[in-house]
Amino acid sequence: MKIVVGLGNPGSQYEKTRHNVGWMVLDRLADRAGWSGKGRTRDAASVVGGRYRGLDLLLVKPLTFMNESGLAVRKVLAREHAPLVDILIVADDFALPFGKLRFRESGSAGGHNGLRSIFEELANEKISRLRVGIGEPGRDAIDHVLSQFLKGEKDRLSELLDAAADAVEAWARDGTSKASNHFNAFELRADDGERAAPPGEVDGPPGEDGIRRTRTGWRKPRATEAGE
Protein backbone atom coordinates (compact mmCIF):
# COMPACT_ATOMS: atom_id res chain seq x y z
CA MET A 1 0.00 0.00 0.00
CA LYS A 2 1.33 3.41 -1.01
CA ILE A 3 0.07 6.34 1.05
CA VAL A 4 -0.21 9.77 -0.56
CA VAL A 5 -0.83 12.71 1.78
CA GLY A 6 -2.00 15.97 0.25
CA LEU A 7 -1.64 19.03 2.48
CA GLY A 8 -4.28 21.73 2.76
CA ASN A 9 -6.78 23.44 5.04
CA PRO A 10 -10.41 22.36 5.57
CA GLY A 11 -13.22 24.81 4.89
CA SER A 12 -14.75 26.35 1.77
CA GLN A 13 -12.80 29.60 2.27
CA TYR A 14 -9.55 27.71 1.63
CA GLU A 15 -10.78 25.36 -1.09
CA LYS A 16 -9.27 27.15 -4.10
CA THR A 17 -6.25 28.77 -2.45
CA ARG A 18 -2.63 28.11 -3.35
CA HIS A 19 -1.99 26.44 0.02
CA ASN A 20 -4.51 23.72 -0.90
CA VAL A 21 -2.85 22.58 -4.10
CA GLY A 22 -1.89 19.32 -2.35
CA TRP A 23 -5.58 18.58 -1.84
CA MET A 24 -6.26 19.51 -5.46
CA VAL A 25 -3.73 16.93 -6.67
CA LEU A 26 -5.37 14.21 -4.56
CA ASP A 27 -8.79 15.23 -5.88
CA ARG A 28 -7.48 14.79 -9.41
CA LEU A 29 -6.21 11.31 -8.55
CA ALA A 30 -9.54 10.43 -6.92
CA ASP A 31 -11.35 11.59 -10.06
CA ARG A 32 -9.17 9.35 -12.21
CA ALA A 33 -9.77 6.34 -9.99
CA GLY A 34 -13.53 6.92 -9.71
CA TRP A 35 -13.25 7.52 -5.96
CA SER A 36 -14.65 11.06 -5.80
CA GLY A 37 -17.25 11.40 -3.08
CA LYS A 38 -16.36 8.03 -1.58
CA GLY A 39 -13.94 9.23 1.08
CA ARG A 40 -14.54 8.65 4.78
CA THR A 41 -13.33 10.56 7.80
CA ARG A 42 -11.05 8.76 10.23
CA ASP A 43 -7.86 9.50 12.14
CA ALA A 44 -8.42 13.27 11.72
CA ALA A 45 -8.28 12.92 7.93
CA SER A 46 -10.41 12.35 4.86
CA VAL A 47 -9.30 8.99 3.46
CA VAL A 48 -10.09 7.08 0.28
CA GLY A 49 -8.27 4.29 -1.49
CA GLY A 50 -8.26 1.04 -3.36
CA ARG A 51 -6.75 -0.62 -6.40
CA TYR A 52 -5.98 1.67 -9.32
CA ARG A 53 -3.98 0.79 -12.45
CA GLY A 54 -2.26 -2.04 -10.64
CA LEU A 55 -1.41 0.15 -7.64
CA ASP A 56 -2.74 -0.07 -4.09
CA LEU A 57 -3.19 3.58 -3.09
CA LEU A 58 -4.49 5.37 -0.02
CA LEU A 59 -5.18 9.09 -0.49
CA VAL A 60 -5.12 11.09 2.73
CA LYS A 61 -6.18 14.71 3.31
CA PRO A 62 -5.49 15.81 6.91
CA LEU A 63 -8.42 17.75 8.40
CA THR A 64 -6.38 19.22 11.26
CA PHE A 65 -5.48 22.48 9.49
CA MET A 66 -2.05 22.87 7.97
CA ASN A 67 -0.05 23.58 11.12
CA GLU A 68 -1.06 20.28 12.75
CA SER A 69 -0.94 17.99 9.70
CA GLY A 70 1.49 15.69 11.50
CA LEU A 71 -1.16 14.56 13.97
CA ALA A 72 -3.28 13.04 11.20
CA VAL A 73 -0.30 11.56 9.36
CA ARG A 74 0.98 9.84 12.50
CA LYS A 75 -2.45 8.29 13.14
CA VAL A 76 -2.81 7.04 9.56
CA LEU A 77 0.65 5.49 9.53
CA ALA A 78 -0.02 3.77 12.86
CA ARG A 79 -3.32 2.31 11.61
CA GLU A 80 -1.79 1.10 8.34
CA HIS A 81 1.49 -0.09 9.91
CA ALA A 82 3.20 1.59 6.97
CA PRO A 83 6.94 2.25 6.70
CA LEU A 84 8.06 5.77 5.84
CA VAL A 85 9.34 4.61 2.47
CA ASP A 86 5.72 4.03 1.41
CA ILE A 87 4.50 7.57 2.05
CA LEU A 88 4.58 10.64 -0.19
CA ILE A 89 3.64 14.16 0.92
CA VAL A 90 2.24 16.51 -1.74
CA ALA A 91 2.59 20.15 -0.75
CA ASP A 92 2.66 23.66 -2.18
CA ASP A 93 5.95 25.55 -2.41
CA PHE A 94 6.30 29.28 -3.06
CA ALA A 95 10.06 28.91 -3.51
CA LEU A 96 9.26 27.30 -6.88
CA PRO A 97 7.79 29.15 -9.87
CA PHE A 98 4.16 28.38 -10.61
CA GLY A 99 3.95 25.13 -12.55
CA LYS A 100 7.24 23.54 -11.46
CA LEU A 101 7.39 20.14 -9.75
CA ARG A 102 10.13 18.91 -7.43
CA PHE A 103 10.57 15.52 -5.79
CA ARG A 104 12.82 15.22 -2.75
CA GLU A 105 13.59 12.15 -0.66
CA SER A 106 14.66 14.03 2.46
CA GLY A 107 15.50 17.47 3.79
CA SER A 108 14.07 20.22 5.96
CA ALA A 109 10.55 21.62 5.81
CA GLY A 110 11.85 24.74 4.09
CA GLY A 111 9.47 26.99 6.03
CA HIS A 112 6.36 24.95 5.20
CA ASN A 113 4.35 24.54 8.40
CA GLY A 114 2.56 21.41 7.24
CA LEU A 115 5.80 19.62 6.46
CA ARG A 116 7.33 20.88 9.71
CA SER A 117 4.44 19.41 11.69
CA ILE A 118 4.81 16.03 9.98
CA PHE A 119 8.57 15.87 10.48
CA GLU A 120 8.22 16.79 14.14
CA GLU A 121 5.48 14.24 14.81
CA LEU A 122 7.40 11.46 13.07
CA ALA A 123 10.80 12.65 14.32
CA ASN A 124 12.17 12.09 10.84
CA GLU A 125 12.86 14.22 7.76
CA LYS A 126 13.64 11.29 5.46
CA ILE A 127 10.18 11.33 3.92
CA SER A 128 9.56 11.72 0.20
CA ARG A 129 7.68 14.80 -0.84
CA LEU A 130 6.43 16.28 -4.10
CA ARG A 131 6.56 20.05 -4.05
CA VAL A 132 4.21 21.89 -6.41
CA GLY A 133 5.29 25.41 -7.33
CA ILE A 134 2.73 28.11 -6.55
CA GLY A 135 4.92 31.10 -7.41
CA GLU A 136 7.01 33.45 -5.33
CA PRO A 137 5.03 35.86 -3.15
CA GLY A 138 5.16 39.46 -4.25
CA ARG A 139 3.82 40.41 -0.84
CA ASP A 140 3.42 38.80 2.60
CA ALA A 141 3.94 35.04 2.35
CA ILE A 142 0.83 34.20 4.39
CA ASP A 143 -1.36 36.40 2.20
CA HIS A 144 0.17 34.75 -0.86
CA VAL A 145 -0.40 31.12 0.10
CA LEU A 146 -3.96 31.88 1.20
CA SER A 147 -4.78 33.72 -2.02
CA GLN A 148 -6.38 32.22 -5.11
CA PHE A 149 -4.52 31.69 -8.36
CA LEU A 150 -4.48 34.51 -10.90
CA LYS A 151 -6.32 34.17 -14.20
CA GLY A 152 -3.27 33.18 -16.22
CA GLU A 153 -2.49 30.54 -13.60
CA LYS A 154 -6.07 29.28 -13.39
CA ASP A 155 -6.05 28.77 -17.17
CA ARG A 156 -3.19 26.27 -16.76
CA LEU A 157 -3.98 24.86 -13.32
CA SER A 158 -5.74 21.77 -14.65
CA GLU A 159 -2.66 20.89 -16.73
CA LEU A 160 -0.47 21.29 -13.67
CA LEU A 161 -2.72 19.06 -11.57
CA ASP A 162 -2.65 16.40 -14.30
CA ALA A 163 1.15 16.50 -14.37
CA ALA A 164 1.35 16.30 -10.58
CA ALA A 165 -1.09 13.37 -10.54
CA ASP A 166 1.07 11.64 -13.18
CA ALA A 167 4.09 12.29 -10.97
CA VAL A 168 2.39 10.67 -7.97
CA GLU A 169 1.54 7.60 -10.04
CA ALA A 170 5.16 7.40 -11.21
CA TRP A 171 6.36 7.60 -7.60
CA ALA A 172 4.00 4.81 -6.51
CA ARG A 173 5.14 2.62 -9.38
CA ASP A 174 8.87 3.37 -9.65
CA GLY A 175 9.98 5.19 -6.50
CA THR A 176 11.13 8.73 -5.79
CA SER A 177 14.47 8.63 -7.59
CA LYS A 178 13.09 7.47 -10.95
CA ALA A 179 10.06 9.75 -10.73
CA SER A 180 12.27 12.76 -10.00
CA ASN A 181 14.42 12.07 -13.07
CA HIS A 182 11.39 12.74 -15.25
CA PHE A 183 9.16 15.15 -13.38
CA ASN A 184 11.74 17.49 -11.85
CA ALA A 185 12.34 18.67 -15.41
CA PHE A 186 8.64 19.23 -16.11
CA GLU A 187 7.82 22.55 -17.81
CA LEU A 188 4.27 23.87 -17.80
CA ARG A 189 3.30 25.72 -20.96
CA ALA A 190 3.71 29.48 -20.81
CA ASP A 191 0.79 31.76 -20.02
CA ASP A 192 -0.69 33.02 -23.28
CA GLY A 193 -0.44 36.56 -21.98
CA GLU A 194 3.24 36.19 -21.13
CA ARG A 195 4.58 34.66 -24.32
CA ALA A 196 7.19 36.95 -25.73
CA ALA A 197 6.86 38.14 -29.31
CA PRO A 198 9.76 39.56 -31.34
CA PRO A 199 9.94 43.24 -32.31
CA GLY A 200 7.48 44.08 -35.06
CA GLU A 201 5.11 41.24 -34.15
CA VAL A 202 1.74 41.73 -32.48
CA ASP A 203 2.25 42.50 -28.77
CA GLY A 204 5.99 42.37 -29.18
CA PRO A 205 8.36 45.09 -27.94
CA PRO A 206 8.85 48.33 -29.91
CA GLY A 207 11.00 48.11 -33.02
CA GLU A 208 14.02 50.30 -33.75
CA ASP A 209 11.67 53.13 -34.75
CA GLY A 210 10.09 53.07 -31.28
CA ILE A 211 6.72 51.89 -32.58
CA ARG A 212 5.01 48.81 -31.18
CA ARG A 213 2.43 46.75 -33.03
CA THR A 214 -0.78 45.80 -31.18
CA ARG A 215 -3.91 43.91 -32.17
CA THR A 216 -5.61 47.24 -32.87
CA GLY A 217 -2.84 48.79 -34.92
CA TRP A 218 0.55 50.46 -34.61
CA ARG A 219 1.36 52.91 -31.86
CA LYS A 220 4.26 54.63 -30.19
CA PRO A 221 4.90 53.53 -26.61
CA ARG A 222 3.78 55.67 -23.70
CA ALA A 223 6.46 57.42 -21.73
CA THR A 224 6.24 54.80 -18.98
CA GLU A 225 6.75 52.01 -21.49
CA ALA A 226 9.69 53.74 -23.10
CA GLY A 227 11.43 53.92 -19.76
CA GLU A 228 10.92 50.25 -18.89
Neighbours of 111 (CB within 10 A): 11
Please say if 19 is a catalytic residue. yes
Task: Note whether 164 and 133 are within 8 A (CB).
Answer: no
Q: Measure the N-to-C terminal CA separation of the chain; round to a whole number of Å.
A: 55
Task: Write the CB contacts of 150 (distance below 8 Å, at least 6 apart in sequence).
Answer: none
Out of 19, 81, 144, 182, pick the active-site residue. Answer: 19
Backbone CA torsion sign across 93, 97, 101, 107 = negative
**Closest C-alpha among 13, 61, 53, 30 to residue 161:** 30
Task: Write the CB contacts of 176 (distance below 8 Å, at least 6 apart in sequence).
Answer: 88, 103, 104, 105, 128
Residues taking part in catalysis: 19
